[in-house]
Structures are given as C-alpha cells and as structure tokens.
Amino acid sequence: MFRHSLCEQCGYMREIVSGKGSRFLMCQRATGGAALPKYPPQPVLVCAGFESRQVRDAGPADGNESGAAGG
Ligand code: SF4
C-alpha cells in the first residue's frame, strides 16, 4: 500500500491487482508523457493532475451534467 501517495486520494487513480497479488496504481488522467505516466512511480508526492476523490464524486460545482446536450 502506498499510504503516503497522492494517488491514494485521487479520483483518477484505478487500482490494478495482478494474478500474483502485486498492486499497481494506474492513472486515468495519464497523458503518456513524463508528467503524467500511466503507472506513476510511487509514492507520488506532488502532482498537477491531482483531484480529490471526494470532489470528483461530488460532480461539477455548478450542477451541470456533461453529455446531456439537447437536439
Ligand atoms: S492525477 Fe496524479 S495523483 Fe491522480 S492518479 Fe494520476 S498521478 Fe496519481
């Protein structure tokens, strides 16, 4: 467990557990570049892409929902 990693509290983190029980933290905000790799070296202490899981779960602050365009 990466207790001191920002990823543990980030809404973009997805936990991957291998068949052998190894645990990896995948970044769903990854760009593929060095700044946001898909599997960031742990622990991550500073990250420009970090967004609290609680904030992500709460949704947009203005109450708008995406993808609900009328026609
Ligand atoms: S955005 Fe940053 S803190 Fe969040 S999962 Fe990706 S690397 Fe970790």
Residue 32 C-beta-side C-alpha neighbours within 13 Å: 0
What distance in Å separates the CA atoms of residue 24 and residue 46, rounded to the nearest whole number?
18
Q: Is a pLDDT exceeding 60 seen at residue 71?
A: no
pLDDT of residue 62: 63
Ligand 1 pocket by Cβ (under 6 Å): 6-7, 10, 12-13, 27, 29, 36, 40, 44, 47, 49-50
Q: Are 20 and 11 spatial neighbours (Cβ–Cβ below 8 Å)?
A: no
pLDDT of residue 10: 96
Ligand 1 centre to CA of 17 (Å) is 17
Q: What is the pLDDT of residues 11-70, one digit of tens each?
A: 999 999 999 999 999 999 998 777 889 999 999 999 999 999 988 788 776 655 444 444
Distance of CA 3 to the CA centre of its chain: 15
